[in-house]
Amino acid sequence: DIQSNEGSEGRSGEGSEGGSGEGSGEGSEGGSGEGSEGGSSEGSGEGFEGGSDHETDQGLEEIVDAFTNVLKINQRVTILNLANVQLSEQESLADALKINHAITTLHLGSNGISDKAAEALADALKLNHAIAILRLGSNELSDKGASALADGLKINKTLSTLHLDNNQISAEGAKALGDTLKFNQTLATLDIHSNNISDEGVKGLSGALKANNTLTTLHLDRNHVSEEGAKALAEELKGNQILSYLTFSENLIFDYDTEVLADALKVNQTLTTLNLERKEMSEKTVTTLAGALKINQTLTTLDLGNNEISYIGAGALADALKVNQNLSTLDLRENGIECDGVEVLFDALKFNQFLTTLNIWNSSWCSHIPNYRLTTRRINLLTLNFCFFEQPISSRI
């Protein structure tokens, strides 16, 4: 499972989106996967891919350790994927990175990386001027490790993407990262989903958005955030002109945080993607969000999956679609929207000229939806998986 490819193209993606995980690796929606994406090359460089399935045999360790030593002199490898190999010499790798200035992407997910190893990596980042993407998801990092990396980023001028998802980081570590964002002007993507940063951590990160001019993507899903944290984030979004991609699903508060974010959308002019799946929204909250869509002129992707949206909620969104002129993707999967709700959404498409992707996975379907061909003429991706059809769909298309 170790290979070196010449001139190949990477298999790992920077997707996300709201609601869809990146790549095929660790983590879940809204976050960025690490997993075992393939090592790959850019230009004429080479890629190196470590083994997967947690291979810990001595032969693999010897190969990885030997390769680490080679990195000190080899300047051709640009993407290094050592996810899931359970590195035994993590600090040796950090030492190599102080010298190597060719690697731009480093995958170290699912390696049991400790705070001590993170401190060594942070020291390397202070000297390294090449790494742009660093994936450290699904390791054993706590606040100490996160704080060390934050210190490294105060000096580092090249890292643009940092994945710290699925670790053990709490408010203290998030605050340290927030303090760094006030000084760092290169980091564009921070993925800290599936930790435990809570309200205080979100407030620390939100406060940094005032001074930061580069962060465009922020993943905060599953972090035990309640009303206080949601309010702080929403207030910063009202004035922030940089952040364009935010995922905030599966936190502790549902209606309140969605409503304050909806209010922020009325003012914010930069956010293009918002993931609010699994928020258990009430009819009032969906209506409030739909009202914001009538005013907002920048949001292009909205994920409201798994929210049990009712007919009233679907109707409010349909009314917004008749007015909104920028939303291109609306994800309503797993809402179990009934026939009348699906019908009003399709009816709204007669008036909307901009929506191109609609996901109503696991909703009802009505045989009497009017003018089906006309209403979906502009849709280039319509997801209907597990919808209930009263008659064959071919008779209506």
CA distance 32 to 12: 10
**In this structure, is residue 238 part of a structural domain?**
no
**In this structure, is residue 42 part of a structural domain?**
yes
| Least confident piece of the model among 11-20, 149-158, 252-261 | 11-20
**In this structure, is residue 244 part of a structural domain?**
no
DSSP per residue, 117-182: HHHHHHHHHHH-S---EEE--SS---HHHHHHHHHHHTT-SS--EEE--SS--BHHHHHHHHHHHT
Token code pair at residue 344: 């009003």
pTM: 0.82
Token code pair at residue 30: 């809204």
Predicted confidence band of residue 65 (pLDDT cuts 50, 70, 90)? confident
Range of the domain at 344: 297-397
Token code pair at residue 182: 């006030």
Q: Mark which of 147, 168, 189 sits at the end of a domain.
A: 168
Evaluate if residue 56 carries a pLDDT over 70. no
**In this structure, is residue 243 part of a structural domain?**
no
**H or E, element range at 31:** none
DSSP per residue, 2-21: -EEEES---------BTTB-
State percent of the chain over pLDDT 70: 75
Residue 323's domain is classified under what CATH number? 3.80.10.10
Predicted confidence band of residue 70 (pLDDT cuts 50, 70, 90)? confident
Q: Mark which of 168, 201, 223 sits at the end of a domain.
A: 168
CA distance 328 to 276: 16
Give which of 138, 115, 125 is closest to 192, Cα–Cα. 138
Predicted confidence band of residue 188 (pLDDT cuts 50, 70, 90)? very high
**In this structure, is residue 241 part of a structural domain?**
no
**In this structure, is residue 260 part of a structural domain?**
no
Same domain, 19 and 163: yes
Same domain, 2 and 140: yes
Residues in the chain: 397
CA distance 44 to 263: 48
Q: Mark which of 168, 192, 208 sits at the end of a domain.
A: 168
> What is the phi/psi pair of residue 267, to 5°?
-110, -40
**In this structure, is residue 199 part of a structural domain?**
no
Give which of 82, 141, 72 is closest to 106, Cα–Cα. 82
**In this structure, is residue 149 part of a structural domain?**
yes
CA distances from 290 to 106, 293, 313, 333, 359 (A): 41, 5, 8, 17, 17
Evaluate if residue 9 carries a pLDDT over 50. no
Evaluate if residue 5 carries a pLDDT over 80. no
Predicted confidence band of residue 76 (pLDDT cuts 50, 70, 90)? confident
pLDDT digits (tens, 9 = 90+) for 126-158: 999 999 999 999 999 999 999 999 999 999 999
Number of domains observed in the structure of the chain: 2
Predicted confidence band of residue 185 (pLDDT cuts 50, 70, 90)? very high
Mean pLDDT for the stretch of residues 323-352: 92
Give which of 255, 178, 263 is closest to 220, Cα–Cα. 178
Asked if 271 and 299 count as a contact pair (C-beta separation under 8 A), the reply is: yes
Query: For all residues of the chain together, what is the average pLDDT?
Result: 82
